[in-house]
Each structure stands twice: as C-alpha cells, then as structure tokens.
A and B are shown apart, each in its own frame.
Chain A
Amino acid sequence: MKCAGARPLAALLLLAALSFLPWAGAGEAQARTLRVADQGDAMSMDPHSLNDGLQLSLTGNIYEGLTARGPTLELVPGLARSWRSTGPTTWRFELRDEVRFHDGAPFSADDVVFSLARAAAPGSDMRAYVGLVSRVRAVDTLTVEIETSQPAPILPEMLSMVYMMNRRWCETHGAEQPADKRKGMENAASYRANGTGPYRLGAREPGVRTEFERNPDYWGTIEGNVERVEFTPIGNDATRVAALISGEIDLMQPVPVRDIPRLEAAPRLRVRQGPELRTIFLGMDIESETLRFSNLDDRNPFRDRRVRLAMYQAIDIDAIIERIMRGAAKPAALLVGPGVRGYDETLDRRHPYDPEAARRLLAEAGYPEGFEVRMDCPNDRYVNDAETCQAIAAMFARIGVRVRLDAQTRSVYFPKILARDTSLFMLGWTPATYDAHNVLYNLMATPDGSGQGQFNLGGYSNPRLDELTRAIASETQDDRRQELIAQALRLHHEEIGHLPLHQQNLAWGMRGNVRMVLRADNFNDFKWISID
C-alpha cells in the first residue's frame, strides 16, 4: 500500500466532474412546490396543545374550525355553513354537508362535540376559547347546538381557532386528550394529523422539516396553485436571509429589520410589510408581597402605582422604534392594537416619556437609590426582542432601576414565565378573536384558574375591570359594548397594569414569482399562495 498523494487528487477531480452532470439537483424549485421557512417551528401538530401563532397557523392548513377568517380577517363560514343565536345563551351551527377528513371519514356533529370537549380538557392550551361553552349537543348529524354559561355574542369568533378533529381517529390513535406540552407529553396527534383542511400532513420531523400536500378531495376551493409545501425552521436570521437570496427557499418570515432594504433592492426578491395585530409589552409582578428576583426582600415596588408609572415614563419608545426597530413599528399605549374590535384611537395616547419625572416618582415612592431586578426576555420570538429589552434595560438604569437582563430562547423562556417565575418580563399578544374582550379576559382579568387571566402573568387585578370584562362578554349592543371596553381600557391605562411598547410590522420576504395574502395576524394560508 502506498500512502500516495496522487490518489486523493484523482478522486477529487472525478467528484468535481460528476457534479457538473445535468441530473445533479438544480437550484430552482419545481413549480408548485413552495419552500417556506420561519424563525421557529410548531411544537406539535396537535391543534389544541399550544396557543401559539405559528402552530395554529401551520395546523390551520390541515385542520379547520366551524368558522374561519377571510383575507382581511373578516369572519366567514368554515366547517359550519351558517349559524345563529337561538336564545340568550344558545347558538345553533349548521354544518357543511359532504366534508370528509383526510382518512375518508365523514365529518359530523359528533366530531364537533368531541373536539370542543377536547379543547376544554386539562392539557389543552385553547381552553380560554371554549371557556364560555357549557354544553355541546348534536341535534342531528349536521347540526350542533352550543350552550354557553352566560350570553356570548362573539362565540363564533372565538371558535375560529378551535379546530375540528375526528373522534374515531383520535380514539384509534390514543389521542383523545391534547398533548400537554408543558409536561413534556406527546401522543400520536403530535406527529400525525387527520383534518378536513386543504392540505394534508406529509412528513413531520420536528425542528427539521414538515411537509404538506394538497388535498385533492377538499370540500372548498383552493385558489392558489401550490401542490406541495416544505416548511423548514431556520432560527438563525442571517441563514434564513441567505437561504432566500440563494434561492434555497421561496418564502420566509420574519425579515430582520436591518435586512429589509437589502432584500428590497435585490432583483428577484420582494419584501411585503404590513402592520401586525400583535402588541408587545412588558409585564410586572404586581401580585407578590415581595419582589422575588430583586435585591429587595421585604417589599415589592411594582405594587406601587408610582413605581409603575416611573418605569413607564423611563421608556423612550420613539427612540426604540427609530433605532432598534428602524421605523418598522408603531408605539402603543394600549394592549389592543388598531384593527382589533374595541380599539379606540382617542385612548391610544402614551404617558409622556419623562426620565426626570420618573426619578422623582421613584424617590417619592421610597426608592431614592432605585433597586435591582431581573428582567426576562425571549431572544428568538419577536422582532428584535432581546435588543429592545437591552435598550429598555439601559433606560431603566438611567432612572436607577438596575436591571439584570436574562435573554433566553423561547423553549426555555415561555415555560418559565408561564409558570410565573419572573418579576419583569416581555410578552406579545394577538387576540385570536380580533376583539378586545380576548385581551381583557386573558391578559388583564384576575387569574382564576379556569382560563380567565391565564396569561396575566404579573397578576394584575382590579375587580372593577373583571366586572366590566364579564359585562362585555355578554353585551350584544355594539355601542354599549364599545363604551364598556373603553372604560376598561382607560382603567388599565390609568393603573398601569402593564407597560405597553409597540405593534411591530410584519415583514415577509419572497421570490418575485410568489403571491400570497398577508394576514394581519401573521397566519399563512397555503391555499392562497400562488407561484407564477
């Protein structure tokens, strides 16, 4: 045997020659296969397991709810072709005929009964959306009657994100209960899917690739021409952008704000931007007697409104939007953004940025030297989340609140704050019903263990606001309802239950030949995508 140097060289040449053969994989996508990338991945294919935008968006191509959303988020019939309120606390839904699940089983009222019960089960993250439902009854195979515990005028809106599963399939595959991700549980529904939607689930490799195939037996029309979708999560911003530029993918989001000009200038690429309904804000632990993750062991400064106002006024949101978000955001004074029903422009006025006043308030409240606190932040969930937190930490430091910033990846961050293991945290929220009640109920009402205040992680509590929230839930008259919402929002704004920051812009990057509908809730319906 000769350890010669010539052999490796010959092998190299041969390999190089082979690579130029025409059958080698090309750089262009086949027509009708859409390669789409996102910053993260759905945790599971189980539509009830996590109330997360990306997961609901992806599974929303496979599964459907009784109601659905059109391109401008107007409520349209889904699996129910019509519905009406038959009493103060009853609704009747007429289901579509001849709808089949992907395995061929017919869709019927029994599946609705099963799915709504499943969505209300302990492991489900969608409980809040069926929280008002007290009883579901199949009147006949295509009619369902739903009773609510109190008048629920926006029940159809709430049901648009509660997807329908097939009872028999779930029972056969041991998936009657939703997979409780917080406990690390999984079942067949995490990896396989049987829905009624325009696309079927193909291969699913969590964190690597998920494939979707067009459903030829879909009951409705698929306006787009996409036959296959390959979804890949690409966490690293630069890699995702590079993949779009090099033609490896056709569509992706979010485009990092600093790369938007570059992509817009690129010849065969396009960036589409639009306002998102999501509001980004900071929450504070208002509930605890002593502030846990701080240098104080006998008091909680956040319980004092003056301290909360000081924190609010320390934030120069315009600088953050200009410098960190590069203009791609809109300052917010409410946790409800424009486009959400109940939004009132006259209420959307922030308390003024005033660091001097902030310092005075802190001194008044008994903290002339300020205090230290840990701030928790995700670093891969929202646009420039960690950078925004970093800038805010500097602003807080200037008024004496010395922040220790803990920026973590979402898989560690969200379980932590959902377990309320935090004193100061960042969160983003899009009301799934596009209605302010969702925000009041989930974020601002007192947590009661049944779903109310489930995401009110700081424990802000005001009985008057709770009362208003209950009233809003059953108020049928529009202007009266709007009045109640305005009252509640004003109350929260005065008390400074949270520190609102901004609504970020959506930014999708795509190849020039891709056409899609940009939904303000950032859901991506494959059925509306066309590749020229």
Chain B
Amino acid sequence: MIPYLLRRFGQAALVIAAVGLVAFSMFRFVGDPVLAMVGQDATPAERAELRSALGLDDPFASQFGRFAANAMQGDFGMSLQHGRPVTGLILERLPATLELALVASLAALAAGIPVGVWAALRKGSRRAGAVLAGSLLGVSLPTFVIGIGLILVFSVSLGWLPSHGRGQTEAIGWWRTGLLGIDGWRHILLPAATLAVFQVALVIRLVRAEMLEALASEHVRFARARGLSERRVLFRHALPGTLIPVVTITGLQFGSLMAFAIITESVFQWPGLGLLFLQAIQSSDIPVMAAYLCLVGAMFVAINLLVDLACLAIDPRLRDPRPATAYA
C-alpha cells in the first residue's frame, strides 16, 4: 500500500507542478509585464530599472521558484483589468461558485439516484428506455442552450424565477452567501439546474449500471433467499454498494463542473470564479488566468487524491489501480 500511496502523491505533485509551470509561463512570457505596470510614458531607463527590480533578468529557475513561493502563499500579483490584488478578487468570487457547484451536485444526486434506481428496476420497459434516451439528450445539449431555455420558460414566460445575479446575499465574515434567504435560493435554482443537467445524465446511467450489477450479485440474492422484503433488499443491501462509485465519479467530475460553471455563470451573470476567468480571457488579464488555473488545478488534484484515498480506505480491492472509466 505504501508504494501505491507514494505513487499517488507523486502523480498529484507532478500535476500541480506542471500546472504551476504553465501558469508561470503565461505570466512571464505572454505580454510585457513591465509595459503593463508602467505605461507608455516611461523612459527606457525607467523600464530597465523596473525589469531588474522585478527580477525579470534572473534565470528562469529562480523566477519560477519565486513565483511558486508567492503562489503558495496566495500571492498572484495584481489583476490587469481591475487594478486590485488577484487573491482578493478570487476570495470574493469563490463563495458564489462553490455554492453553485454544491447545490448543483446535490441536486444532480438527489434527482439522478432515484431515477437511476427506478430505471434499473424497470429495466427493459419503454419508459425506462425513454428516460435513458432523455439522458442522452441532456448530454448532447450545450450548457448555454439549456440555461437560456430554462430562462425562457421559467423567467420570461412564466415569470416564476429570476434570471440574473445572486439576489440578496448575507455576509458571514468574508463569505457572502445567498443560501440564507429565500431570494438567494430563488436566484440559485435555475443556474444550479443548468449546471446539474450534465451530471444528472451521468448519474442516472451510472446508478442504473451499478444497480443492475448489484441486483445480480451474490449477496443480494442471498438476502432475497433469506426472505427479506424487497424494499429491505433494495435499500440495505443493493443501494449502499452502488453509491460509492456514484459519489466517487461525481467528485471526479469536479473539473467538468468548473468548466461548465464558467458557461452557466456567463448565462446567468452569476458573479463567481467562472465569470471572473471569462472576463480575464476577454481582456487578456494574465494574472487572473494564471491564478484561476492554479486554483482549479490544485482543487482538482486535491479532490482526486481525497476520493482515491477515501475509497482506498473503504475498499481494499481498489488498491490495484483501475483504469479510469471513460464516461463524460
């Protein structure tokens, strides 16, 4: 087990290092940081002075080292577009995206698990087939179309739900939350639904597949043979086993979640990290792009590692690495 752990940690470190290298390269080589800071009126002498003051003439390795050290302390410099420290911007926007991602994932699980179970139980029926086809549809639709469609139905036509922004938010320390009020919840529903769609399709298919396997397994048949009620068999014996891979895969979807959050936040103008990153791309704000990359990369690696370790702890059979299932 130790060699496995070492390998996993090694892989994680490698990914983070690679991400950091890419982020640093962006910082260093794209655009002229000196020009951005000093403006066109500076003399060449002033510019040269600033270059050496910033250490831009040092060898690559030492510059990267400095960047990495700063990054680990959370210092990514100033945003070119907003003129404020990047870290502050990110902390400001982080709660919005995390809340959105959390609500969307929970909703996807809450909706997908029961449907997946039902589809497994009703295997072969027309309706189950229709549901599966519907889930295929969900994956084929671009996220922004889904968002706009939901707005068209629930905001424009029915007028039930708001279409833009977070609504009223309350501050708990530095964390601005929308989940403490009805207004915040009304605002989060449509974006969360949009973000949940691609996950729901995945969860349904996954739960169905796992459920079918579980229902055919030895220990379920044994439970049935013991005369336990079908419901008991289902909930106490079949279901728990399927949930591990489901939650695992949902966790591993984090990267896609962040990517689709960018689109969702754009459609609903949800003031989160995704919108910040998008605006950074539109205005070539390299420090923000680099910081976002590092943050998402680090979060992704951390989640992957945690999920792996957690399921390693639960199920020793997983200790030989399995190839990642190619879903999404």
Q: Check B179 against A19 for contact (C-beta < 8 Å).
A: yes
Closest chain A residue, CB of each to CB of B246: A5
Closest chain A residue, CB of each to CB of B186: A246
Note all chain A residues with C-beta closer than 8 A to B248: 3
- The reply to whether the CB of B75 lies closer than 8 angstroms to some CB of chain A is no
Note all chain B residues with C-beta closer than 8 A to A3: 243-244, 247-248, 310-311, 314
* Complex partner residue of B169 from A25, A183, A238, CB under 8 angstroms: A25
Note all chain A residues with C-beta closer than 8 A to B39: 182-184
- The reply to whether the CB of A265 lies closer than 8 angstroms to some CB of chain B is no
Bound together, the chains give a CA A279 to CA B248 distance in angstroms of 60
- The reply to whether the CB of B182 lies closer than 8 angstroms to some CB of chain A is yes
Proximity string of chain A (237-260) to chain B, C-beta cutoff 8 Å, 1 when within and 0 when not: 011001101111000000000000
Q: Check B283 against A4 for contact (C-beta < 8 Å).
A: no
Bound together, the chains give a CA A419 to CA B40 distance in angstroms of 10
Q: Check A207 against B183 for contact (C-beta < 8 Å).
A: no
- The reply to whether the CB of B167 lies closer than 8 angstroms to some CB of chain A is yes
Bound together, the chains give a CA A464 to CA B239 distance in angstroms of 90
Instruction: Report A413 CB to chain B, min CB distance, Å.
Output: 12
Question: Which of B81, B183, B184 has the most chain A CB atoms inside 10 A of its CB?
Answer: B183
Proximity string of chain A (16-48) to chain B, C-beta cutoff 8 Å, 1 when within and 0 when not: 101110001111000000000000000000000
Note all chain A residues with C-beta closer than 8 A to B165: 239, 242-243, 246, 248
Of residues 90 to 114 in B, which have CB atoms within 8 Å of A's CB atoms? 92, 106, 109-110, 113
Bound together, the chains give a CA A24 to CA B247 distance in angstroms of 31
Instruction: Report B93 CB to chain A, min CB distance, Å.
Output: 10
Closest chain B residue, CB of each to CB of A240: B164
Q: Check B82 against A207 for contact (C-beta < 8 Å).
A: yes
Bound together, the chains give a CA A381 to CA B310 distance in angstroms of 53
Proximity string of chain B (168-182) to chain A, C-beta cutoff 8 Å, 1 when within and 0 when not: 111000000001111
Q: Check B82 against A206 for contact (C-beta < 8 Å).
A: yes
Note all chain B residues with C-beta closer than 8 A to A5: 109, 113, 239, 243, 246-247
Bound together, the chains give a CA A16 to CA B92 distance in angstroms of 24
Instruction: Report B82 CB to chain A, min CB distance, Å.
Output: 6
Bound together, the chains give a CA A151 to CA B72 distance in angstroms of 63
Q: Check A4 against B314 for contact (C-beta < 8 Å).
A: no
Tally of contacts, chain A with chain B, CB under 8 A: 100
Bound together, the chains give a CA A4 to CA B243 distance in angstroms of 6
Q: Check B181 against A24 for contact (C-beta < 8 Å).
A: yes
Question: Which of A7-15, A320-328, A356-364 is near enough to bind chain B?
Answer: A7-15
* Contact of A246 with B162 at beta-carbon distance under 8 Å, contacts A3-B314, A5-B247, A183-B41 already known: yes
* Contact of A27 with B180 at beta-carbon distance under 8 Å, contacts A184-B39, A248-B165, A409-B283 already known: no
* Complex partner residue of B109 from A8, A20, A24, A247, CB under 8 angstroms: A8
Note all chain A residues with C-beta closer than 8 A to B170: 24-25
Q: Number of A interface residues at 8 Å Cβ cutoff, please give it.
A: 38
- The reply to whether the CB of B84 lies closer than 8 angstroms to some CB of chain A is yes
Bound together, the chains give a CA A24 to CA B310 distance in angstroms of 36
Of residues 447 to 494 in A, which have CB atoms within 8 Å of B's CB atoms? none
Note all chain A residues with C-beta closer than 8 A to B244: 3
Q: Check A27 against B84 for contact (C-beta < 8 Å).
A: no
- The reply to whether the CB of A236 lies closer than 8 angstroms to some CB of chain B is yes
Note all chain B residues with C-beta closer than 8 A to A206: 82-84
Of residues 182 to 213 in A, which have CB atoms within 8 Å of B's CB atoms? 182-184, 186, 206-208
* Complex partner residue of A12 from B40, B110, B167, CB under 8 angstroms: B110
Bound together, the chains give a CA A243 to CA B38 distance in angstroms of 38
Instruction: Report A182 CB to chain B, min CB distance, Å.
Output: 8
Note all chain B residues with C-beta closer than 8 A to A236: 164, 269
Instruction: Report A248 CB to chain B, min CB distance, Å.
Output: 6
Q: Check B247 against A243 for contact (C-beta < 8 Å).
A: no
Question: Which of B113, B169, B269 has the most chain A CB atoms inside 10 A of its CB?
Answer: B269
Note all chain B residues with C-beta closer than 8 A to A239: 164-165, 269
Of residues 74 to 90 in B, which have CB atoms within 8 Å of A's CB atoms? 81-84
Bound together, the chains give a CA A253 to CA B265 distance in angstroms of 23
Q: Check A1 against B41 for contact (C-beta < 8 Å).
A: no
- The reply to whether the CB of B65 lies closer than 8 angstroms to some CB of chain A is no
Note all chain B residues with C-beta closer than 8 A to A248: 165, 167-168, 183
Bound together, the chains give a CA A2 to CA B165 distance in angstroms of 37
Bound together, the chains give a CA A26 to CA B165 distance in angstroms of 16
Bound together, the chains give a CA A198 to CA B314 distance in angstroms of 66
Bound together, the chains give a CA A508 to CA B326 distance in angstroms of 53
- The reply to whether the CB of B240 lies closer than 8 angstroms to some CB of chain A is yes
Closest chain B residue, CB of each to CB of A182: B39
Of residues 220 to 274 in A, which have CB atoms within 8 Å of B's CB atoms? 236, 238-239, 242-243, 245-248
Q: Check A15 against B179 for contact (C-beta < 8 Å).
A: yes
Note all chain B residues with C-beta closer than 8 A to A186: 83
Bound together, the chains give a CA A184 to CA B310 distance in angstroms of 50
Note all chain B residues with C-beta closer than 8 A to A184: 37-39, 83
- The reply to whether the CB of B313 lies closer than 8 angstroms to some CB of chain A is yes
Instruction: Report A24 CB to chain B, min CB distance, Å.
Output: 4
Proximity string of chain B (127-154) to chain A, C-beta cutoff 8 Å, 1 when within and 0 when not: 0000000000000000000000000000
Q: Check A25 against B283 for contact (C-beta < 8 Å).
A: no
Note all chain B residues with C-beta closer than 8 A to A246: 162, 165, 167, 183, 187
Bound together, the chains give a CA A238 to CA B169 distance in angstroms of 19
Q: Check A25 against B110 for contact (C-beta < 8 Å).
A: no
- The reply to whether the CB of B185 lies closer than 8 angstroms to some CB of chain A is yes
Note all chain B residues with C-beta closer than 8 A to A11: 106
Q: Check A243 against B164 for contact (C-beta < 8 Å).
A: yes
Instruction: Report A529 CB to chain B, min CB distance, Å.
Output: 21
- The reply to whether the CB of B253 lies closer than 8 angstroms to some CB of chain A is no
Note all chain A residues with C-beta closer than 8 A to B243: 3-5
By a beta-carbon cutoff of 8 Å, the part of chain A in contact with chain B is 1-5, 8-9, 11-12, 15-16, 18-20, 24-27, 182-184, 186, 206-208, 236, 238-239, 242-243, 245-248, 409, 411-412, 419
A-B contact pairs, 26 of them (CB 8 A): A2-B240, A3-B311, A3-B314, A4-B240, A5-B243, A8-B106, A19-B180, A19-B182, A19-B185, A20-B182, A24-B181, A25-B184, A26-B168, A184-B38, A184-B83, A206-B83, A206-B84, A207-B84, A208-B92, A236-B269, A238-B269, A242-B165, A246-B165, A247-B183, A412-B283, A419-B40
Contacts A236-B269, A242-B162 aside, 4 further interface pairs with beta carbons under 8 A come to: A3-B243, A4-B243, A8-B109, A8-B110
By a beta-carbon cutoff of 8 Å, the part of chain B in contact with chain A is 37-41, 81-84, 92, 106, 109-110, 113, 162-165, 167-170, 179-185, 187, 239-240, 243-244, 246-248, 269, 283, 310-311, 313-314
- Per CB-CB distance, the 7 closest pairs between chain A and chain B, nearest first, are A242-B164, A239-B164, A25-B181, A24-B181, A239-B269, A5-B243, A246-B162
